[in-house]
Amino acid sequence: MIKHILYVQPIFAPDQRRCDRNTNSIKSMGDYIKINGTDGIQVTVVFGGWAKTPELWDKIKSEILHAFGPSINAIVFDKNYGKAMVVNKLVEMAKQQNVGYHAILTADSDILFPLENHHMFGRLAYAAIQLENIKKKPFGMMALNQSGECCHWKCCYENSTEYSVTTGNQTIVEKIVWPTNPSGIAGGCLFISRKVWEVLRGYQCSGLYAGDDAFLLLYTFQAGFSHQMIDTITIVHPPENDAEWSAFKVKVCQRDSLTGPKSNIDHLIKEMDEFWDNHDKT
C-alpha cells in the first residue's frame, strides 16, 4: 500500500529561459496540490540542482517558497552534475533523514501538471496495486503520458489493460499500456516503487544528459519488476524551441549513453559549462 510519495525534482537553470521553465513547473505542482490535494497520501517534496548565477537560484527559491511555503527548501549543488546524479543524491538524502516514502514521483525540471488530472496521487498509488494483481509481478515503474512534446513511442501501446476506479463521485476508466520489450517509455515524469529503486540503486550515471531513464526501464525489466505507462494521466512536456541546445543534447546523449556508467564526469561538466558560456552570447 502506497501511503507516502516522495516527489523529487531536479533544478536546471543555466540561463533565464531554462529558469523560467523551472519556475513554471514548480508553480504548476504547487497549484495542483493546493487545489486538488493529495488524496490523503503524504507527499514529501524535495528540490535540488544547479543554477548558473546566484540571481537565477534566488528566483528558483522564491518560487518554491511561494508555491510550497517555508518548510520546503532546495539543495543547491556546486556544479551542474546532471539529472541522474542529482536525483540519486536527493533520494539518498531523504532516506538518510528517515523519510518513510513508499514510492518516488520524479519529474524533469520543465514538466507541467494540469489541474484537470483529478486525484492524480491516489490514482497512481491505486494503479500500483492493480498492476501487481494484473501482471502477477511486483510493481516497478510507470511513466505518465505526455502532451506537448510527447517522447513516448508507439510501441508503448502493444499491450493494454483497463479498470475502473471511483474517486469521490467520479468513476474513471483507467488505461495502462506497455511495450512487450523494455523500450519506448520516455522519462520526463516517472512513478517508481521504492523497492525497485533500492534494488537498482537508483539511476546509473552515464553523463549530464544521457539515457538514464532508458537504462532504468531496462534494468527494471531485467530485475523482474513491471514497466508501463498510464495513458489516462497526462502531464505537459513543453516543446523545446532552442535548436542549438536540442542538437547539443542529442550529440552528448548518444555519445555518453553508448559509453556506459562513469565514475568521473568532471570533463563532461566542463564541456557543458563551456556550451552555456558560449550559448549565452548568441
Question: What pLDDT sits at residue 280?
Answer: 66
Quick one: cell of 136? 502477477
Question: What pLDDT sits at residue 281?
Answer: 62
3-state secondary structure of 139: strand
Quick one: cell of 91? 533520494
Q: How many helices (H) and strands (E) does the chain have?
A: 8, 9
Question: What pLDDT sits at residue 282?
Answer: 52
What residue ranges of the chain have pLDDT lower than 50?
none
Cell numbers 483529478: residue: 118
Residues with Cβ < 8 Å from 59, sequence gap 6 or more? 13, 19, 23
User: CA-to-CA distance for 105 and 265, rounded, in angstroms?
Assistant: 26
Question: What pLDDT sits at residue 50?
Answer: 97
**Residue 49: alpha-carbon gap to chain centroid:** 13
Which residue type is seen at 49? G
Domain boundaries, the chain: 4-279
Q: What are phi and psi of 10, to 5 degrees?
A: -75, 150
3-state secondary structure of 121: helix
Select from 3.40.1350.10, 3.55.10.10, 3.90.550.10, 3.40.50.2300 the CATH code of 4-279: 3.90.550.10
Question: What pLDDT sits at residue 71?
Answer: 87
3-state secondary structure of 6: strand
Task: Write down the pTM of the prediction.
Answer: 0.96
Question: What pLDDT sits at residue 48?
Answer: 97
Q: What are phi and psi of 107, to 5 degrees?
A: -135, 140
Residue 266 burial (CB < 10 Å; 0-12/13-18/19+)? Answer: exposed
Quick one: cell of 167? 474517486
